[in-house]
Amino acid sequence: MRSVDTKRRKIEDRADKRKRLERVLTKRPIPAVRGIGNELYMIDHHHFGLALWQAEIETAYVQIIDDISTLSPGAFWRQMEADGRVYPYDEDGLRVAHDTLPKRLHGLRDDPFRDLAWEVRAAGGYKKTRIPYAEFQWANLFREHIKLTAVRRKHASAFDRAMKLCRSREAANLPGFISTN
């Protein structure tokens, strides 16, 4: 995962400078919901969390944004979906059952199109937005128009194609779209 590798390297560069690392951690608390069994469920910053885990950083800040621990498991997952706090799709963009979602960060699966979406946003292809899972919507657009083999073997050309797609009619309704008008 390119985004995780980049984030991990940044974290590792700061790991020996405790104040710099502390600044990064306090600026990016991991948002979570208290849910089933009183467990915390991360709702964003999964790649940041995985990068912390890979860098062997044992502490992070968490911001609990809701407590729906009193709900039954079915009601919990329905509420999470209704609030846009879970994205129950796999690395191929196919819907999956909630009980098959990774339970730990190291269980996250690589979605090359999600990484492509992250890179394209970082390069100014579209704006960062507060809309949950916006990068996955962009990844799905790229998945429809770019072959997986191109993303894996001819990354530069896949990236160029994705940047062009960002200005297309097909992208106009996606979160963070940058109008050329």
Q: What are phi and psi of 23, to 5 degrees?
A: -60, -45
Residue 117 is predicted with a pLDDT of 96
Start-end ranges of CATH 3.90.1530.10 in the chain?
2-96
Ranges assigned E (strand) in 15-85: 30-34, 40-42, 62-67
Residue 181 is predicted with a pLDDT of 67
CA angle 45, 145, 6 (to 5 degrees): 30
Mean pLDDT, rounded, for 150-165: 96
Q: Which residue has the tokens 């797609």?
A: 165
User: pLDDT-derived band of residue 2, with 50, 70 and 90 as boundaries?
Assistant: confident
Average pLDDT, the chain: 93
- CA 126 from chain centre, in angstroms, equals 15
Mean pLDDT, rounded, for 6-30: 88
The structure tokens listed for 91 are: 């690395």
Start-end ranges of CATH 1.10.8.10 in the chain?
112-171
Percent of the chain with pLDDT over 70: 99
Residue 20 is predicted with a pLDDT of 86
User: pLDDT-derived band of residue 71, with 50, 70 and 90 as boundaries?
Assistant: very high
Bridge-based pairing of strands 40-42 and 30-34 is antiparallel
Per the CB < 8 A criterion, the answer to whether 176 and 156 are in contact is no
Q: Rg of the Cα trace of the chain?
A: 17
pLDDT per residue over 79-90, tens digit each? 999 999 999 998
User: pLDDT-derived band of residue 118, with 50, 70 and 90 as boundaries?
Assistant: very high
Per the CB < 8 A criterion, the answer to whether 98 and 79 are in contact is no
Q: Which CATH number fits domain 2-96: 3.90.1530.10, 3.40.190.290, 3.40.640.10, 3.30.70.100?
A: 3.90.1530.10
Mean pLDDT, rounded, for 117-137: 94
Residue 151 is predicted with a pLDDT of 96
The structure tokens listed for 100 are: 């098959």
Residue 34's closest CA among 82, 84, 85, 100?
85
Does the structural domain 112-171 have CATH classification 1.10.8.10?
Answer: yes
Per the CB < 8 A criterion, the answer to whether 126 and 165 are in contact is no
